[in-house]
């Protein structure tokens, strides 16, 4: 850069900072050998310099003001407001300073509204017929007199939102997918990578298609794609077999077809090998298509009877420590909820086969901003206990102890649970209604006192009919209805029990069976249950932990079935 150029730039900066006079008190103007004052001023836009000079001259130079009254009217708004109060002009006229000079301000009235300086923030006033006017606002302002800051000028609304001005503020009209002050909150669930691990061993052979149906049902509730949910599937028996990775399928129809073609292996249940493989599958640098910065879920569809449980639980913990949510779905010839609880991230992540809505909705509510309210946690549950006191119940005290444990856990986990109780032998008797007791101690006390086995046979069909017709009369609207049957054996009318259980299911009642003691007739119980995971076998006190999976069902997430249409 040349010396002359540097001097020109410096002179421009200096002159911009100077007032009309180039000298300050006690200081003389210093000339530059290469650049005159007029030359330096020539770099400054003329309108800018005149504006600064005129404003000062009109206020401080009486002679200048007298010669340039019309021009100086522009710079005396504060003085005009002072001398025009109260307004001396008649309707249709505007008060202005006909003489805007400090030595003798003089007011006057005119039909030219622009002389009243109505336009704000540097706007240009245009006179209209009569006493009317319009203001041409500068950028960033709006209103009849440009009195409002245009908050939409900075384009605050994002994600396709439309900005609507509201005085000095704004409102954003968001598209369906977004909400928030500036449409910054995405209310569409996802994205997430979900790995399904399916038990393909001998113990689940007869129920393998049910396991695949569970996977398919969950997938059908989700949008599939690189920007939405990605699915990978693994099966296990002797070894873990990767059926397909996250990036294999982006078309839902192809994905469902691939799941339908998976076949069982029929061997031991080495779940630990599958979980060890899962560590690699979720690796961001692996070839399985896992994405960075998305939610990660592992859903194990199993009977909870793995060959090496300790190793499987340890591998699951490693995955959980990496932030991967582990969900378990019980399915098989029998189901041990103990292992499913040990594998899952928490008890609320343990589900029964056939409860795909519950499973999916947990994922939906967790993969969306917490301020979005499409999905909500429902804590209202009405639970009726049906206790067999017939002569077939040889371990009634153990049954009552198990009942006490379940009631305590249910009310501790979810205080918004209402409890009712029915006892039966040949006939059913209402012990207390759903809304009869709200105090936990009273509920526990009344569930135990006055109970002993009778010399009558058991008629569980009649008991289920009684509960269906009377047990939920005082239930709350929108509550989850659960019926828990405590009975070990003596079930002679299997067809009748099955029919009544199905009728209760049609009334949206979840029917659960609890069999206590070594002598329990589990074969018959599994026959009448809707799902094997709805059967809880309590042989000893250590098995009471299985109830944690049951009480977790007293809360559930509800989402609109068309949430992804709503939040396109």
Same domain, 386 and 346: no
Residue with tokens 């923030």: 121
Confidence of residue 102 (pLDDT cuts 50, 70, 90): confident
Q: In the predicted model, what is the mean pLDDT of residues 158-166?
A: 94
Residue 148 lies in a domain: yes
Residue 544 CB partners (closer than 8 Å, separation 6+) = 402, 405, 538
Tell me which of 124 and 14 has the higher pLDDT: 124
**pLDDT for residue 53:** 57
Q: How far apart are CA 495 and CA 257, in angstroms?
A: 36
Is residue 512 situated within a structural domain? yes
Helix axes 208-219, 252-260, angle to 10 degrees: 170
**What's residue 454's pLDDT?**
95
Beta-carbon contacts of residue 275 (< 8 Å; ≥ 6 apart): 197, 312, 315, 316, 318, 319
Q: Of the ranges 110-114, 176-180, 239-243, which one carries the lowest mean pLDDT score?
A: 110-114
Q: Are residues 177 and 203 in the same domain?
A: no
Tell me the pLDDT tens digit for each residue of 229-276: 999 999 999 999 999 999 999 999 999 999 999 999 888 999 999 999
**Does one domain contain both 162 and 206?**
no
Judge if 412 and 464 occupy the same domain: yes
Least confident of 23-27, 189-193, 209-213, 241-245: 23-27
Report d(CA 501, CA 486) in Å as an integer.
14
DSSP state of 214: H
Task: Say if 547 falls within a structural domain.
Answer: yes
Supply the pLDDT for residue 392: 87
Handedness of CA 315, 320, 326, 331 (dihedral sign): positive
Q: Determine the 3-state secondary structure of 15 from DSSP.
A: helix
Domain of residue 265, CATH code: 3.40.50.410
Does one domain contain both 383 and 357?
A: no
Give the residue-averaged pLDDT of 159-167.
Answer: 93
pLDDT score, position 14 = 43
According to the model, what pLDDT value does residue 331 have? 94
Q: What is the CA radius of gyration of the chain?
A: 40
The rounded distance, in Å, linking the Cα atoms of 441 and 323 is 39
Structural tokens at position 313: 């639980």
Same-domain check for residues 241 and 362: yes
Q: Domain boundary at 185, 211, 227, which?
A: 185
The confidence score (pLDDT) of residue 63 equals: 82
**Are 142 and 245 in a shared domain?**
no
Residue-range definition of the domain harbouring residue 172: 124-185
Q: How far apart are CA 93 and CA 408, in angstroms?
A: 83
What is the predicted pLDDT for the residue at 323?
A: 97
Q: In the numeric block, which tokens belong to residue 66?
A: 């007298």
The first and second tokens of residue 214, run together, are 């569970």
Whether residue 86 is preceded by a cis peptide bond, meaning omega within 30 degrees of 0, is: yes
At residue 330 the predicted structure's pLDDT band, cuts being 50, 70 and 90, is: very high
Domain boundary residue, one of 155, 185, 215? 185
CA atoms within 13 A on the CB side of 144: 4
In this structure, of 31-45, 136-150, 463-477, 552-566, the range with the lowest mean pLDDT score is: 31-45
At 322 the pLDDT is 96
Cα–Cα distances (Å) from 67 to 110, 151, 547, in that order, read 21, 41, 97
Residue among 421, 479, 412, 423 at smallest CA distance from 453: 423
Look-up: residue for tokens 């040349």? 2
- The DSSP annotation for 184-197 comes to -EE-S---EEEEEE
Q: What is the pLDDT of residues 375-432, one digit of tens each?
A: 999 999 999 999 999 998 989 999 999 999 999 999 999 999 999 999 999 999 999 9
3-state secondary structure 228-253: CEEEEEEEECCCEEEEECCCCCCCHH
Q: Encode pLDDT of 11-62 as tens digits.
A: 444 444 444 443 334 434 444 444 444 444 444 443 343 445 566 788 788 8
Residues 257 and 163 both lie in one domain:
no
Instruction: Report the pLDDT value the prediction gives residue 378, as an integer from 0 to 100.
Output: 98
Is the distance from CB of 360 to CB of 299 less than 8 angstroms? no
Mean pLDDT across the chain = 89
Residue 224 is given by DSSP the state B
> d(Cα 323, Cα 348) in Å, to the nearest integer?
16
The residue among 420, 516, 428 whose CA lies nearest residue 464 is 428
Tens-place pLDDT, residues 429-464: 999 999 999 999 999 999 999 999 999 999 999 999
Structure tokens at 240: 């873990």
Residue from 137, 142, 134, 141 nearest 123 by CA = 137
For residues 489 and 552, membership in a common domain is answered with yes
Q: How many domains does the chain have?
A: 3
CA distance 157 to 322: 36
Please tell me whether residues 474 and 459 are part of one structural domain. Answer: yes
Tokens of 125: 């006033």
* Closest-CA residue to 100 (of 122, 89, 84, 124): 84
Q: Could you tell me the end-to-end alpha-carbon distance of the chain, in angstroms, rounded to an integer?
A: 57
Q: 327 φ, ψ to 5°?
A: -110, 145
**Same domain, residue pair 449 and 489:** yes
- Residue 528 placed within a domain: yes
- The answer to whether the beta carbons of residues 459 and 451 sit under 8 Å apart is no
Domain at 153, CATH number: 2.10.25.10
Which of 339, 366, 393 marks a domain boundary? Answer: 366
DSSP state of 471: I
- pLDDT band at residue 199, thresholds of 50, 70 and 90? very high
Q: Which DSSP state fits 156?
A: -
- Does a structural domain hold residue 46? no
The answer as to whether 196 is a domain residue is yes
Determine the pLDDT at residue 32.
47
Q: Is residue 72 part of a domain?
A: no
Lowest mean pLDDT segment, chosen from 90-104, 161-175, 422-436, 487-501: 90-104
Asked if residue 338 and residue 252 are part of one domain, the reply reads: yes
Q: Kindly state the percentage of the chain with pLDDT values over 90.
A: 70
Instruction: Report pLDDT digits (tens) over 486-527.
Output: 999 888 899 999 999 999 999 999 999 999 998 888 999 999
Contact, 145 vs 169, CB < 8 A?
A: no
Q: What is the pLDDT of residue 302?
A: 96
Is the separation of the CB atoms in 55 and 65 below 8 Å? Answer: no
Task: Determine, yes or no, domain membership for 97.
Answer: no
């Amino acid at each position: 850069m040349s010396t002359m150029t540097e001097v020109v730039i410096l002179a421009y900066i200096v002159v911009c900072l100077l007032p009309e006079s180039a000298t300050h008190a006690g200081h003389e103007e210093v000339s530059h050998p290469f650049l005159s004052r007029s030359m330096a001023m020539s770099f400054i836009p003329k309108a800018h310099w005149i504006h600064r000079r005129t404003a000062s001259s009109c206020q401080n130079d009486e002679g200048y003001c007298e010669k340039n009254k019309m021009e100086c009217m522009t710079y005396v708004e504060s003085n005009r407001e002072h001398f025009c109060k109260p307004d001396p002009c008649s309707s249709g006229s505007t008060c202005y300073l006909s003489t805007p000079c400090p030595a003798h301000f003089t007011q006057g009235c005119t039909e030219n509204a622009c002389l009243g300086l109505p336009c704000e923030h540097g706007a240009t006033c245009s006179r209209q017929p009569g006493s009317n006017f319009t203001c041409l606002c500068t950028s960033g302002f709006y209103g009849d007199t440009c009195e409002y800051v245009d908050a939409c000028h900075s384009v605050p609304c994002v994600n396709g939102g439309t900005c609507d001005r509201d005085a000095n503020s704004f409102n954003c009209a968001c598209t369906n997918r977004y909400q928030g002050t500036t449409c910054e909150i995405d209310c569409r669930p996802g994205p997430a990578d979900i790995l399904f691990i399916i038990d393909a061993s001998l113990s689940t052979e007869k129920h393998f298609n049910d396991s695949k149906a569970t996977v398919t049902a969950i997938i059908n509730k989700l949008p599939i794609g690189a920007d939405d949910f990605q699915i990978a599937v693994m099966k296990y028996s002797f070894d873990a077999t990767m059926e397909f990775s996250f990036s294999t399928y982006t078309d839902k129809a192809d994905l469902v077809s691939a799941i339908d073609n998976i076949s069982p292996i029929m061997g031991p249940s080495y779940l630990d090998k599958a979980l060890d493989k899962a560590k690699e599958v979720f690796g961001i640098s692996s070839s399985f298509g896992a994405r960075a910065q998305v939610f990660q879920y592992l859903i194990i569809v199993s009977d909870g009877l793995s060959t090496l449980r300790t190793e499987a639980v340890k591998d699951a913990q490693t995955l959980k420590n990496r932030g991967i949510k582990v969900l378990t779905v019980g399915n098989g010839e029998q189901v041990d909820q103990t292992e499913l609880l040990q594998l899952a991230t928490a008890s609320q992540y343990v589900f029964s086969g056939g409860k795909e809505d519950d499973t999916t909705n947990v994922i939906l509510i967790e993969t969306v901003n917490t301020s979005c309210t499409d999905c909500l946690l429902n804590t209202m549950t009405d639970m009726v206990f049906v206790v067999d006191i017939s002569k077939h119940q040889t371990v009634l005290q153990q049954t009552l102890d198990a009942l006490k444990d379940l009631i305590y856990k249910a009310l501790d986990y979810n205080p918004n649970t209402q409890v009712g109780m029915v006892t039966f032998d040949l006939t059913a008797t209402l012990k207390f209604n759903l809304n009869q007791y709200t105090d936990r101690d009273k509920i526990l006390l009344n569930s135990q006192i006055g109970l002993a086995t009778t010399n009558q046979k058991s008629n569980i069909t009649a008991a289920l009919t009684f509960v269906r017709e009377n047990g939920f009369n005082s239930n709350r609207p929108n509550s989850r209805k659960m019926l828990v049957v405590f009975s070990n054996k003596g079930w002679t009318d299997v067809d009748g029990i099955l029919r009544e259980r199905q009728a209760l299911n049609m009334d949206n009642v979840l029917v659960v069976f609890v069999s206590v003691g070594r002598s329990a007739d589990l074969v018959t119980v599994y026959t009448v249950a809707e799902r094997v995971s709805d059967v809880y076998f309590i042989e000893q006190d250590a098995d009471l932990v299985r109830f944690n999976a049951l009480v977790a069902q007293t809360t559930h997430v509800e989402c609109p079935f068309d949430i992804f249409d709503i939040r396109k």
